[in-house]
Amino acid sequence: MIERALPGAEVEVIDETGGGDHLRATVRAPQFAGRTRIEQHRLVKNAVQARFDDGSIHALSIKCATPGKPSR
Amino acid sequence: MAANPELKQKVEELLRENPVLLFMKGTPQMPRCGFSMRVVGALEQLGVEYGAVDVLPLLGPLREVTGEIADWSTFPQLYVNGELVGGCDIVEEMFESGELAEMLGAEQPQHAEAPGSQAPPNPQQSPPLRVDQG
């Protein structure tokens, strides 16, 4: 879902609790370059909003990075 | 549903009056959510003054308001000079990297670690701010 919204993104999603609804996503996307963290997070959140709306995700912790830069 | 205009106005007023403003669940002395507590921990370690709004009494209406103001409807939310900086994930990352200290003109603690889940001993923020509806 995230990859579809952000073509070229590398996405890793970890299920933190094993329940499938508390997730941690690490996203490395070229679209993040030049954007503030809050803008990067908005891009990811908007990409998965439907899953929040239908209740299948309860919490998503996000870490964003731009390719070529260390994850921060 | 559109946000309550009076509440939105009140929030915008608070954002103008408080260069560093945290919307959180509970109060800095008694956070009611682990994520809110972690943001409080970061701010306390930097020793900056900040305003804190407990969102719990008006959670739904405040979500509408911050959704309109900043396109963000989960709490906590940290604003600096009226701009949304982020929630817990972003604030912790920026705290650990020193960016938060830089942004707030504070000194980076020598051993900056994620604050974890300990309540700060001496919160130094202004008295709790209240938002009332209408």
Contact B25, B31 (CB under 8 A): yes
Q: Is residue A51 part of a domain?
A: yes
Q: Is residue A13 part of a domain?
A: yes
Within the 17-36 window of chain A, which residues sit less than 8 Å (CB to CB) from chain B? none
Within the 89-128 window of chain B, which residues sit less than 8 Å (CB to CB) from chain A? 89-90, 93-94, 97
Number of domains in chain A: 1
A70 near B CB under 8 A: no
Q: Is residue A15 part of a domain?
A: yes
Instruction: Write down the domain spans for chain B.
Output: 5-104
* pTM as predicted: 0.82
Structure-token pair, residue B70? 């900043």
DSSP string, B47-87: T---EEEE-GGGHHHHHHHHHHHHS--SS-EEEETTEEEES
Place of tokens 């260390």: A70
CATH (domain of A51): 3.30.300.90
Report the pLDDT value the prediction gives residue B11, as an integer from 0 to 100. Answer: 97
Distance from CA of B93 to the nearest CA of A (A): 7
Domain B5-104: give its CATH architecture. Answer: 3-Layer(aba) Sandwich (3.40)
| CA separation for the pair A62, B47 (Å, rounded) | 26
A4 near B CB under 8 A: no
Lowest mean pLDDT among B40-54, B99-113, B119-133: B119-133
pLDDT digits (tens, 9 = 90+) for A1-60: 888 999 999 999 999 888 888 889 999 999 999 999 999 999 998 899 888 889 888 888
